[in-house]
Amino acid sequence: MISKKIVLIGDFSVGKTSLIRRFVDNQFSDTYLSTIGVKISRKEIVLSSGTVQGLIWDVEGGTETKPVNRVYLTGADGCIIVADVTREETIEHIETYIDIIHETSPKAVFIVVLNKVDCLTESEKEQLETTLLKHYEEARLTSAKSGEGVEEMFETLAGRMMETQG
């Protein structure tokens, strides 16, 4: 089975840990507990083309004074850039994280994730889908709280990693 290093990056409190928890354990908690350093989880991702052993890195969120530690991205096969739809500045920082990926892991495939869509109305979601999501090659709306789009997002990334890296 092929192992792939998947790193989740983004501003603090955008829901990186919650997305992993939803994907790996199918659990969710509303309590915010900030991540320090990094925590690695494992999850097998079954695709039609085979199974991928995901080593999922939950990296401490970046802040204005403390950017994400680039060493965690060394050797990443895939990255998930997470932003919070309720906090505009986290969406504005997506481009910064894309630059970091290009500099540290140029071969990594990445996906942009707008999390917490459970806070939006259906029409707001449609608007996001037709505007913001079109800016990025691969982007998804997710809710770690409801589970919406989470599994599909990880599977899409794994599929793209398999396609491009084998």
Partner 1 sequence: MYIQEVFSAIYASHLYEYFVIDREWKVVAYSDNVWQFCSQGIGLEESRSIFEFVPELYGMEGTLNRLLEGEESELLLPYIFKEPEYYVNIRIHSGNTGGETVIILFENVTEMAKTQQSLVQERNEKALLLKELSEKNVQLKRYNDQMQELVKEEMRKNLEKQKMVELQSRYSQMGEMISMITHQWKQPLSAISMIAHVLKLKHQEIMKKGTLTEKFDAILRQTEYMNQTVNDFQEFFKPSKNRVRFNLYQTVSTVLELVKDEYMLKRISLELKGEEEIIAYGYPNEFNQVVLTLLKNAKDAFGENPKENMRIEILIREEGENAVVDVRDNAGGIDENIMAEIFDLYVTSKTEGSGLGLNIAKNMIEANMQGELTARNVEGGAQFSIVLKQVP
**Which residues sit at the interface with partner 1, rule CB under 8 A?**
3, 5, 12-13, 32-34, 36-40, 42, 55, 60-61, 63, 69, 71-72, 74-77, 87
For residue 58, which phi and psi values (nearest 5 degrees)?
A: -95, 105
Q: Which is nearer to partner 1, 14 or 153 (CB)?
A: 14
* Least distance from partner 1 to the Cβ atom of residue 32, Å: 7
**Residue (60 or 148) nearer to partner 1, CB:** 60
Name which of 42, 33, 30, 54 is nearest 160 in CA terms: 54
What is d(CA 35, CA 49) in angstroms, rounded to the nearest whole number?
34
CB of 76 to partner 1, least distance (A): 7
Tokens of 121: 């109305």
Q: Cβ 67 to partner 1, closest distance in Å?
A: 14
Nearer to partner 1, 16 or 140 (CB): 16
Nearer to partner 1, 40 or 132 (CB): 40
Measured between alpha carbons, how far is residue 39 from residues 20, 42, 56, 63 in Å? 10, 10, 8, 18
Residue with smaller CB distance to partner 1, 76 or 85: 76
Burial class, 107, CB count within 10 angstroms (exposed 0-12 / middle 13-18 / buried 19+): exposed
Cα 89 from Cα 91, distance rounded (Å): 5
R_g (Cα) of the chain, nearest Å: 15
Q: How far is the CB of 58 from partner 1 (least distance, A)?
A: 8
Instruction: Provide, rounded to whole angstroms, the least separation between the CB of residue 130 and partner 1.
Output: 25
